[in-house]
Amino acid sequence: MLAAAAALISPDGRNPQPVHLIRPAAAPLSAMAQLGRLVFFDPSLSSSGALSCASCHSPQHAYGPPNDLPVMAGGANLKRQGLRAVPSLMYLERQPNFSIGPESGENEGLATPAPASNAVPQGGLFWDGRANTLQSQALGPLLNPLEMDGGSAARVAAKLRRAPYAWRMVQLFGAAVFARANVAVNEALFAVARYQIEDPSFHPYSSKFDAWLEGKARLSPAEARGYALFGDPRRANCAACHLDRPGGDGLPPLFTDAQFEALGVPRNAALAANRDPAYHDLGICGPVRTDLKTATQYCGMFKTPTLRNVATRHAFFHNGVYHSLEGVLDFYTYREAKPQRVYSGAKYDDLPAAYRANIDTVDAPFDRKRGQAPPLTPAQERDIIAFLHTLTDGYR
Amino acid sequence: MKRIVALCTVLAFVVCSGSVPLSAQSARGGTATPIKHLVILYGENVSFDHYFATYPKAANPPDEPVFRALPNTPAVNNLLTAHLLHNNPNLTNPANGADAADPFRLDDTQAYTTDQNHAYTAEQQAYNGGRADLFPKYTGKGTPGGAGAFGTRGQVMGYYDGNTVTALWRYAQHYAMSDNAYTDTYGPSTPGALEVVSGQTNGMLAIATTAKPATATDYSYYVNDGQGGLTMINDVDPASDVCSKPDDNAFMAGKNIGDLLNDAGITWGGFMAGFDLTVKNPNGTTGCKRSTYSPIVGQNVADYIPHHNWFAYYPSTVNSTHNRPSSIKAIGHTLGADGVKDPANHEYDLEDFYAAVKTGNFPAVSYIKAASYQDGHAGYSDPLDEQAAIVRLVNFLQRRPEWKDTAVILTWDDSDGWYDHAFAKTTSPSSDGADQLDGNGTCGSGQALPGVGGKPVNGRCGPGTRIPFLVVSPWAKTNHVSHTLITQASVVRFIEDNWLHGQRLGGGSFDASAGSIMDMFDFHMSAAMPVLLLDARTGNPVPSH
């Protein structure tokens, strides 16, 4: 491990092999993206008149939730609780489509990254990967009764027609754009997607780690130790899923392999839905996603999120059960060696017994047995957290 | 003929006959026309109306490449002139359900879209006996595309204009275009690839297969031809290519144009990006997995797609292991400098084309395929990446001294299932279960045309879908739109007419019946037509120095 660390980081904290990162080209926003920005910040599309996309995907909070609630509240009177923690909208510009196994024959030419196993689901948007495009993803919260509660395409289209930016829609999509509700809504939501694709604030790659990759920053001793642990396949092993290496063509690392994993995160009693003991959020298997309910080998699996800007968040994992990186690191450290520190009830208490075999118990840090030494010491956890802070954008 | 052309060029005002008598072809390796180099850039999956629905009228919204038509631009058969932009039958036919839609403009920010269904049967169903009113129902469902892709119900009705496919609209203004070009049969890439080199799709030999013949409801890549053989109707990899899928792949019986060119000793090549397996791309990929990242697509896209490789389907022209040519000088030739058969067997990488032409070794006939991310296929490519590949090629050739006797054909292998309103009367009927154009098991009427074995064969319902077809050449008519019915096999016919004294492939090839592309040429004008150099990103003209 020390040898690996030495090769990875120079003694003075520099990157011994600096790279030139290729960031998305920056250009003035197109008319489409300018329209999308207006839609993104428009609260009138919600039933409460108070929620826009930006309410939960706050630009000041890495396009994630602006508070430390486990999930956000929405609906007509802003009193209904959402089902899952709000994911960040950042770094989705390269997200692959949802797929399971090798590429299909009809998918001419798209080179999917080779998964560790052909059967591992990957890609898509939302915690369960149920949307493939940013445009279709945006429709979810817009119509969800627990979130923006927009009602129907017809109702949203009527609001778009009255919006101060309606003339821009006519300019871009023609006078007939409001003749059919789904056309108007789809065009408006594509504009939102285009805003996310074009605006550099969604993918600046401006963290200290990016600067370090390019040889423009030094990691502190704690950050350097944390980075070594992050990649150590026998310890934290974070980098196995949260990929940390730039591509040979200079594409910055996304800190996710976009694959799905069942982690056995503890049940969150703070969620209203969990008051029903029969309710289980099974990720790919539902209940939100409905097309893979019978694929029980994937029950309990959620998509691995990027770790970029993770230190700015206050709600972690799909159910928002943790509110600090310390809590998250403790989960990884103690889940197997000291499960009583993680679960107030039974081990894996948020997944029905029938699906617990889906939980990863093979790869570090989950390969320890009860009573064995945990894979990380408290000091090592602190070092990893120090490293995770280098993934926050806006480093100067 | 060479002499006659020269005479006409000198006597610029003498009216000469438009037809080119084949008998006039010179015996010393000459050509029937002044064209000594034909370059076919074969794109992927675009219908004519998808790119030219409102030509020559672009919307010109703010901050996009502006397109304004020349005043003498001829009318074309598109949605604008057919008055089909509103109250389109695909909106009014209730069978389309919730996906019913009028045609709508796709913005250049929407260059990357989801893909449509472009299977043999689905396209026939969309054309619905020539009414062309069931596209949302039958071809409007495809793969999703990446995170930044645009997708909507009824998206199959979407079209681009000169603000996105700017370069193509400018070439159409400067050179010649057909608004009456079709695929030879309905269906996707591989049938289209076969048709542009052999003029037909009968004679499939299933070398490895897990599939049963297609039916009205069960998708497959082949049908029984009714004579004990098989006809390919959908995509399958070429047999023996190292990059092909091992469980399903096929060869074709019958000849392709490469065979005839070999017999005549005329230089030619198939040039595909990604074909050279020894190259390592900047992203670290190599071999069959070589890929390129497109910021527009947001994904790594494999450079080489085996089922697009025209000549790999024929044992006589395959280069299974992607052997490299023995030298740049050997490119286009059957034999290397040492007189031994060149290992590349006329199959090369696209970069080999550029390298050879730069040294003055410009083959007579070159089929070219851009890297997949630049081939225009929705779902993994887009018209802006495609434009970059087209402009790179055309700019390069226009700067070459050989440009004076070069013609570039820009056309596409299939329509992707994108809406097009035009229908060509069926001349190649078929009555297989997979045929649905004119009812269950029915495409057209009358007896099917003879296949490889000389007997009537099923599975070649066509002409199929309308595709763009441009001729970029100093000998192309200026700002001309040809209305002569042509198909992909018309490319084969031109090669035969120009280099081979009108010899035909036989064996059921449509080359003998395909229309002529000569209407897009004017071999009597001076070749001093100025070139049109474009910016690869915007499609706008750049100074030609």
Per-residue pLDDT of A134-179, as tens digits, reads 999 999 999 999 999 999 999 999 999 999 999 999 988 888 899 9
The reply to whether residue B299 touches residue A94, judged by beta carbons under 8 angstroms, is: yes
Give the pLDDT confidence of B491-526 residue by residue, as tens digits: 999 999 999 999 999 999 999 999 999 999 999 886
The whole-angstrom distance between B123's CA and the closest CA on chain A is: 16
Average pLDDT, integer, range B194-205: 98
Distance from CA of B374 to the nearest CA of A (A): 11
- On chain B, the residues whose CB falls within 8 A of the CB of A90 are none
The answer to ipTM > 0.95 is: no
Q: Please answer yes or no on whether A95 and B147 come within 8 Å at the CB atom.
A: yes
Secondary structure letter of residue A311 according to DSSP: G
Yes or no, beta carbons of B148 and A134 under 8 Å apart: yes
Task: Answer whether B176's CB lies under 8 Å from B521's CB.
Answer: yes
CB contact under 8 A, A113 and B300: yes
**Which residues from chain A sit within 8 angstroms of residue B293, using beta carbons?**
247, 249, 251
Give the closest residue to B207 by CA, choosing from B320, B341, B348.
Answer: B320
Q: What is the model's pLDDT at position A103?
A: 47
CB-CB neighbors (< 8 A) of A248 in chain B: 281-284
Residue type, B159: Y
User: What is the DSSP code (8-state) at residue B525?
Assistant: S
Q: Is A94 close to B380, i.e. CB distance below 8 A?
A: no
Report yes or no: B486 and B469 within 8 Å, Cβ to Cβ. Answer: yes
B340 C-beta neighbours (distance < 10 Å), count? 10
Q: What is the mean pLDDT of residues A333-362?
A: 95
Distance from CA of A180 to the nearest CA of B (A): 9
Count of all residues that appear for chain B in the document: 545
Alpha helices in B431-540 (DSSP H): 489-499
* Subunit contact A249:B145, Cβ cutoff 8 A: no
CA separation for the pair B197, B199 (Å, rounded): 6
Bridge partners, B430 (sequence order): B443
pLDDT per residue over A32-57, tens digit each?
Answer: 999 999 999 999 999 999 999 999 99
Residues, chain A, total? Answer: 396
For residue range A172-215, list pLDDT tens digits in order: 888 889 998 988 999 999 999 999 999 999 999 999 999 999 99
Report CB contact under 8 Å: B148, A108.
Answer: no
Is residue B130 scored above 60 in pLDDT? yes
Element (H, E) at B386: helix B383-398
Strand B406-412 relative to strand B469-472, pairing: antiparallel
Mean pLDDT (whole number) for B374-400: 97
**Shortest distance, CA A106 to any CA of chain B (angstroms):** 8
Q: CB A248 to CB B284 under 8 A?
A: yes
Q: Give the DSSP letter of residue A35.
A: H
**CA-CA-CA-CA torsion for A94, A99, A100, A106, nearest 10 degrees?**
-120
The stretches of A199-262 forming alpha helices (DSSP H) are 208-213, 221-231
- Distance CA(B500)–CA(B2), nearest Å, equals 15
A153 to each of A12, A40, B99, how far by Cα in Å? 57, 16, 14
Are the beta carbons of B147 and A30 separated by less than 8 Å?
no
Structural element, H or E, at residue B367: strand B365-369
A132, A182, A186 ranked by CB distance to B144: nearest: A132
> Confidence band (pLDDT; 50, 70, 90) for A7?
low
Q: Which range (A103-117, A319-333, B348-362) has the least confidence?
A: A103-117
The answer to which of A298-307, A373-382, B12-21 has the lowest mean pLDDT is: B12-21
Would you put residue B440 in left (φ > 0), alpha (ψ -120 to 50) or beta? Answer: beta
**Which chain B positions have a beta carbon within 8 Å of A250's beta carbon?**
282
Asked, as a colleague might, if the bond just before B56 is cis with ω within 30 of 0, I would say yes
Beta bridge partners of A316: A322
CA of B105 vs chain A CAs: smallest distance (Å): 7
Q: Categorize the per-residue pLDDT at A274 as very low, low, confident or very high, splitting at 50, 70 and 90.
A: very high
Closest CA to B183 of B131, B120, B230: B120
Q: Could you tell me which residue, A115 or B387, shows the higher pLDDT?
A: B387
Segment B177-190 shows an average pLDDT of: 97
Selecting from B59, B148, B379 the residue whose C-beta is nearest the C-beta of A193 gives B148
Q: Which residue of B has its CA nearest to A170?
A: B61
Q: Do B107 and A172 touch (CB under 8 A)?
A: yes
Tell me the pTM.
Answer: 0.89
Q: How far apart are CA B162 and CA B119, in angstroms?
A: 28
* CA A91 to chain centroid: 9
The gap between the terminal CA atoms of chain A, to the nearest Å, is 30
Does residue A73 carry a pLDDT above 90? Answer: yes
* Phi and psi, residue B348, nearest 5°: -140, 175
- With beta carbons less than 8 A apart as the criterion, state whether B531 and B545 touch: no
- Residue A113 DSSP one-character state: P
Number of Cβ within 10 Å of residue B209's Cβ equals: 17
pLDDT exceeding 90 applies to what percent of chain B? 85
User: Which residue does chain B place closest to A25, by CA atoms?
Assistant: B295
Measure CA A166 to chain center: 32
Residue A184: closest C-alpha in chain B: B152
> Smallest Cβ distance to A186: which of B152, B245, B302?
B152
Contact A133 B98 (CB under 8 A): no
Q: What is the pLDDT of residues A224-249, one digit of tens each?
A: 999 999 999 999 999 999 999 998 88
Using the Cβ of B372 and the Cβ atoms of chain A, whether some distance falls under 8 Å is answered with: yes
Which of the four pLDDT bands, split at 50, 70 and 90, describes residue B545? low
pLDDT over 90 at B455, yes or no: yes
Chain B residues with CB under 8 Å of A186 CB are 151-153
Is B109 close to A113, i.e. CB distance below 8 A? no
Interface probe for B, chosen from A95, A110, A168 (most Cβ of B below 10 Å), is A110
Query: If pLDDT is split at 50, 70 and 90, which confidence band does B19 have?
Result: very low
d(CA A211, CA A396): 9
pLDDT at residue A102, rounded to an integer: 56
pLDDT above 80 for B124: yes
Predicted local confidence at residue B255, as pLDDT: 97
Q: Are the beta carbons of A135 and B151 separated by less than 8 Å? A: yes
Integer Cα distance of B329 and B226 in angstroms:
46
**Residue B281 at interface with chain A, using a CB cutoff of 8 Å:** yes
Pick from B374, B204, B366: nearest CA to B274: B374
- Give the E-state strand segments of B209-264 in sequence order: 222-224, 230-232, 237-238, 249-252
Q: Which of B34, B149, B125, B175 is nearest to B437 (CA)?
A: B125
Helix (H) or strand (E) holding A73: strand A73-74
Contact flag B235-A105 (C-beta cutoff 8 Å): yes
What separation in angstroms does the CA of B177 have from each of B411, B424, B467?
10, 17, 11
Q: Which residue has the tokens 């490519």?
A: B381
Report the residue of B87, B88, B99, B107 to disrupt the A interface, i.e. the one with the largest count of A CBs within 10 Å: B107
Q: Is B298 on the interface with A (CB under 8 A)?
A: yes
Give B98: exposed, middle or buried? Use CB within 10 Å, 0-12, 13-18, 19+.
exposed
CB atoms within 10 A of CB A27: 10
Using alpha carbons only, give the angle A243, A245, A248 rounded to the nearest 5 degrees.
130
Which pair of structure tokens corresponds to residue B66? 């502006």
Rounded Cα distance between B332 and B353, Å, is 9
- Provide the percentage of residues in chain A whose pLDDT is more than 90: 86
Beta pairing, strands B299-302 & B291-294: antiparallel
Out of B144, B248, B289, the one facing A111 most closely (by C-beta) is B289
CB pair distance less than 8 Å for A95 and B146: yes
Measured between alpha carbons, how far apart are the two ends of chain B, in Å?
33
Note whether B302 contacts A: Cβ–Cβ < 8 A.
yes
Residue partners of A219: CB distance under 8 A and separation at least 6? A9, A13, A208, A212, A227, A387, A390
CB contact under 8 A, B283 and A249: yes
Q: What is the pLDDT of residue B527?
A: 58
For residue B400, name the pLDDT band (cuts at 50, 70, 90). very high
The alpha carbon of B358 is separated from its chain's Cα centroid by a whole number of angstroms, namely: 25
* CB nearest to A133's CB, from B86, B109, B147: B147
Average pLDDT value for residue range B350-359: 98
Chain A residue nearest residue B99, CA to CA: A182
CA angle B38, B39, B40 (to 5 degrees): 120
Cα distances (angstroms) measured from residue B481 to each of A187, B163, B173: 33, 20, 9
CB pairs under 8 A between A and B: 145
Tell which residue, B38, B122, B44, B41, has the closest CA to residue B308.
B44
Whether residue A35 contacts residue A269, with contact meaning beta carbons closer than 8 Å, is answered with: no
- Tell me whether residues A111 and B300 touch, CB distance under 8 A: yes
**Tokens coding B505:** 């492939």
Q: Which residues of A319-343 are buried (b: 16+ CB within 10 A; e: fewer)?
A: bbbbbebeebbbbbbbbbbbbeebb
Residues B167 and B410: beta-carbon distance below 8 Å: no
3-state helix, strand, coil in chain A (%, to 5): 35, 5, 60
Q: Is there a contact between A246 and A205 (Cβ–Cβ < 8 Å)?
A: no
For residues B67-83, average pLDDT: 96
* pLDDT for the residue B27: 37
Q: Is A360 within 8 Å of A298 (Cβ atoms)?
A: no
Distance from CA of A320 to the nearest CA of B (A): 25
Instruction: Classify B401 as helix, strand or coil.
Output: helix
Q: pLDDT > 70: what percent of chain B?
A: 93
CA dihedral over A230, A232, A237, A239, signed as positive or negative: positive
Contact A133 B377 (CB under 8 A): no
Residue B10: pLDDT band by 50, 70, 90 thresholds?
A: very low
* Cβ–Cβ contact B104 with A under 8 A: yes
Q: How far is residue A107's CA from residue B288's CA, in Å, rounded to a whole number?
A: 16
DSSP state string for B486-499: EETHHHHHHHHHHH
With contacts defined as CB-CB under 8 Å, which chain B residues touch A176? Answer: 86, 102, 104
Mean per-residue pLDDT of chain B: 92
Residues of B in contact with A19 (CB under 8 A): none
Find chain A residues with C-beta within 8 A of B104's C-beta.
173-174, 176, 183
pLDDT for residue B28 is more than 60: no
Give residue-wise pLDDT tens across range B146-171: 788 888 778 899 999 999 999 999 99
The nearest CA of chain B is from the CA of A143 a distance in Å of 16
CB within 8 Å: A187 and B145:
no
Closest residue on chain A to B142 (Cα): A106
> Which of A104, A107, A108 is most worth mutating to test chain B (most B CB atoms within 10 A of its CB)?
A108
Residues contacting residue B519 through CB under 8 Å, at least 6 positions apart: B482, B483, B484
**Contacting residues of B for A107, CB less than 8 Å apart:** 143, 379-380
CA distance B61 to chain A (A): 7
